[in-house]
Chains A and B, each alone.
Chain A
C-alpha cells in the first residue's frame, strides 16, 4: 500500500506562532485529507485537497500531487489547535476505498 510520512512528529509552540506540517506520500493519489484529532479523540475534517490550495480561517493547505506532498499551515496558533494532525490519502489503484493514514504530528500550543 501507499506509504504516508508526516513531519515533524512533535511540535511545541507558543500561542500566536505559525507552523507548517508536511505530508509526503509514495504513490499517485486522487484524494488527500487533513484531519485534526482533538484531545477528546474526535477526528475533525480540516481539508479535502487532492491538489491545489485551500484556506479556512487561520488554516490553509496546499497539495502538489505531481511531487507527492501536502503542507498544512497554521497561523496565529491557539491552545485549541492542540492535538494530533493526520494526513490521509486514497490510493488511486485501490478498490477498498480505504484511506492510508500517516502517523500524525502531535501539536501542543502553550498559552
Chain B
C-alpha cells in the first residue's frame, strides 16, 4: 500500500493564481481531511470529508474549496492564492471520523509570492 500520497511536494504561486493540491489514499478510508501547518500555530483543519460526495468545513476554510467524487481522492483547491496561504499542507485519512488512527501524507510546501 502506498498509504496517503500528495502532489506536488513543492509549489510556488503568484498572488491571485489558482491551483489544486492532490491527495489520494489506497486504504479504502472513508474519512479524509486537509490540515495546514504554520509556525507557532500547529496543525489546523481546513476541510474534511466523511465519505464520497460529503464534505464540510473545518477550522480555517476560507480561500479553499474541496470535493470528494471518489473514496480515494480528496483534492484541495486554492481559488485565488494569497501570501497568507503560504504554508505546509497535509492530507490525512482514517477509516472513519470516530477516532480511529489517522495517517498523514508527506505534505505539500506552498509559497505564495
Interface residues of A (CB under 8 A from B): 29-31, 33, 35, 41-43, 45, 48, 50, 86, 88, 90, 92, 95-99, 101-104
Indicate the size class of the contact surface on chain B.
Answer: 20 to 34
Give A96 to B31 CA distance when docked, in angstroms. 10
- A30 touching B88 in the complex, CB below 8 Å, given contacts A99-B43, A102-B42: no
Secondary structure type dominating chain A contacts: strand
The answer to whether B102 touches A99, judged by C-beta atoms less than 8 angstroms apart, is yes
**Known pairs A97-B99, A99-B43 / 7 extra A-B pairs, C-beta < 8 Å:** A31-B100, A41-B107, A41-B109, A96-B56, A96-B58, A98-B58, A103-B42
Give A32 to B43 CA distance when docked, in angstroms. 15
From A41, A43, A92, name the one whose CB has the most chain B CB atoms within 10 angstroms.
A43
| Chain A residues with CB below 8 A from B101, complex form | 31, 33, 45, 48
The answer to whether A97 touches B42, judged by C-beta atoms less than 8 angstroms apart, is no
Give A59 to B23 CA distance when docked, in angstroms. 30
Interface residue from A30, A35, A103 paired with B99 (Cβ < 8 Å) = A30
Question: Digit string of B11-47 for contact with A (CB within 8 Å is 1, else 0)?
Answer: 0000000000000000000010100000010110100
Give A92 to B97 CA distance when docked, in angstroms. 11
Interface residues of B (CB under 8 A from A): 31, 33, 40, 42-43, 45, 48, 50, 56, 58-59, 88, 90, 92, 94, 96-104, 106-107, 109
- A97 touching B94 in the complex, CB below 8 Å, given contacts A90-B99, A103-B42: yes
Secondary structure type dominating chain B contacts: strand
The answer to whether B31 touches A97, judged by C-beta atoms less than 8 angstroms apart, is yes
| Chain B residues with CB below 8 A from A90, complex form | 99
- A97 touching B33 in the complex, CB below 8 Å, given contacts A31-B100, A102-B42: yes
Could you pull out 29 A-B pairs where Cβ atoms are within 8 angstroms? A29-B99, A30-B99, A31-B100, A31-B101, A33-B101, A33-B102, A35-B104, A41-B106, A42-B104, A42-B106, A42-B107, A43-B90, A43-B107, A45-B101, A45-B103, A86-B43, A88-B43, A88-B102, A92-B99, A95-B97, A96-B48, A96-B97, A97-B33, A98-B48, A98-B58, A99-B43, A99-B102, A101-B43, A103-B40
